[in-house]
């Protein structure tokens, strides 16, 4: 099972009302939640480890996970409130306004993290959960304790507005990336992590030297590129589609990558260290196909396997 570790929240998506003003419709979301949902819908055994509230929004999140076949046995139930993210959409791009203080996810502590059963063979971590303390320290502690024998993918999805102490965040994230096998970054993530005028390939090479076996850089409509430790570079285009909004696109891409690697029997630490370019291309291609469906829909609504275009 791939265990997705991180935030589950409610995206409040603007929608017109009969009064002539926009209202907000609650959609289950959060970067890590979206990846878990997408994995479940693609038929991959997946679970979610998160702080899950007992409030009405937490019940909505739990129902969505159940409906997509995601295991919630390792979710940490709490009476703290669910995080809310109000979304502004402009020209297909999303901006977020978060209400996260004292929330179920944010207030997790390292001592809350469970022992992982043997059927958890891979970990996915990322999103705002790696920035907001004390929860960020809890996920870092989980990875330090349980990541050595498992394949690990990290998508930091860096949002500077959530980072209270940049030096502390960089130190924690660097330690986590050193334990990762796969790291997925946007161009903005890479610029924040490794600023400067050096070419992208040079900056990625320095990142790979710290531990990961595979680095993926996504560029929205311009596709994605994978850098392998052996020096190979593989690029795939984005799938052409009508864009409704981009909420959950990168999260779905992550699920597609993990799903293809799992299907090929390559989602293990030894296999990822020897990954060949064609396998990387296949993984990126499924990620792009899945993401193209998500951006064609309102809200974060990843595809089921039957929804994917040929």
pLDDT of residue 92: 57
Look at 226 and 88; give whichever has higher pLDDT.
226
What is the structure's pLDDT at 252? 96
b (16+ CB within 10 A) / e for 175-211: ebbebbbbbbbbeebbebbeeeeeebeebbeebbeeb
The pLDDT of residue 209: 93
Stretch 193-210: mean pLDDT: 92
Which whole number is the average pLDDT over 119-141?
96
The predicted structure's pLDDT at residue 239: 83
Average pLDDT over residues 122-126: 98
The pLDDT assigned to 310 comes to 63
Tally of structural domains, the chain: 1
3-state secondary structure the chain: CEEEECCCEEEEEEEECCCCCEEEEEEEECHHHHHHHHHHHCCCCEEEECEEECCHHHHHHHHHHHHCCEECCCCEEECCCCCEEEEEEECCEEEEEEECCCCCCCCCCHHHCCCCCCCCCEEEEEHHHHCCCCHHHHHHHHHHHHCCCCEEEEECCCCHHHCCCHHHHHHHHHHHHHCCCEEEEEHHHHHHHCCCCCCHHHHHHHHHCCCCCEEEEECHHHCEEEEECCCCEEEECCCCCCCCCCCCHHHHHHHHHHHHHHHCCCCCHHHHHCCCHHHHHHHHHHHHHHHHHHHCCCCCCCCCHHHCCC
Residue 11 lies in a domain: yes
Task: Check: pTM over 0.85? Answer yes or no.
Answer: yes
pLDDT at 16: 83
Confidence band of 53 (pLDDT split at 50, 70, 90): very high
Across 32-36, 213-217, 240-244, least confident range: 240-244
The verdict on residue 126 lying in a domain is: yes
- Give the CATH number of the domain where residue 299 resides: 3.40.1190.20
Q: CA 184, CA 69: separation in Å to the nearest integer?
A: 25
Average pLDDT over all residues of the chain: 93
For residues 298, 302, 304, 307, the Cα torsion angle rounded to the nearest 10 degrees is 50
Domain annotation covers residue 310: no
- For residue 53, being part of any structural domain is answered with yes
Phi, psi for 231 (deg, rounded to 5): 105, -10
pLDDT band per the 50, 70, 90 thresholds, residue 248? confident
Task: Give residue 224's domain range.
Answer: 2-305
Those residues whose C-beta lies under 8 Å from the C-beta of residue 53, and which sit 6 or more positions away, are 61, 77, 78, 79, 80, 81, 82, 103, 104
Question: What are the tens digits of pLDDT across the range 74-104?
Answer: 999 999 999 998 878 776 566 778 899 999 9
Output the pLDDT for position 27. 87
Instruction: Give the pLDDT score at 157.
Output: 92
């Amino acid at each position: 099972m791939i265990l997705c570790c991180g935030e589950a929240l409610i995206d409040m998506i603007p929608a017109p009302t009969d009064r002539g003003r926009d209202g907000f419709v609650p959609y289950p979301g959060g970067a890590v939640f979206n990846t878990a949902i997408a994995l479940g819908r693609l038929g991959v055994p997946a679970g979610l480890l998160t702080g899950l509230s007992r409030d009405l929004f937490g019940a909505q999140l739990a129902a969505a996970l159940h409906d997509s076949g995601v295991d919630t046995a390792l979710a940490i139930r709490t009476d703290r409130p669910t995080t809310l993210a109000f979304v502004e959409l402009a020209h297909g791009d999303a901006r977020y306004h978060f209400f996260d203080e004292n929330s179920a996810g944010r207030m997790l502590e390292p001592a809350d993290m469970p022992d992982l059963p043997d059927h958890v063979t891979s970990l996915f971590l990322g999103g705002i959960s790696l920035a907001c303390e004390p929860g960020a320290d809890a996920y870092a502690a989980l990875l330090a304790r349980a990541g050595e024998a498992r394949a690990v993918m990290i998508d930091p999805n860096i949002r500077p507005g959530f980072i209270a102490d940049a030096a502390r965040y960089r130190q924690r994230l660097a330690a986590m990336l050193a334990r990762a096998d796969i790291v997925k970054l946007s161009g903005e993530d890479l610029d924040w992590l490794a600023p400067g005028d050096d070419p992208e390939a040079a900056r990625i090479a320095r990142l790979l030297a710290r531990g990961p076996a595979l680095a993926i850089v996504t560029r929205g409509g311009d596709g994605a590129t994978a850098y392998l430790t052996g020096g190979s570079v593989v690029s795939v285009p984005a799938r052409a589609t009508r864009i409704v909004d981009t909420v959950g696109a990168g999260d779905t891409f992550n699920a597609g990558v993990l799903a293809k690697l799992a299907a090929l029997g390559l989602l293990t630490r030894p296999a990822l260290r020897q990954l060949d370019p064609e396998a990387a291309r296949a993984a990126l291609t499924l990620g792009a196909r899945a993401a193209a469906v998500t951006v064609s829909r309102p809200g974060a609504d990843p595809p089921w396997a039957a929804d994917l275009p040929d």
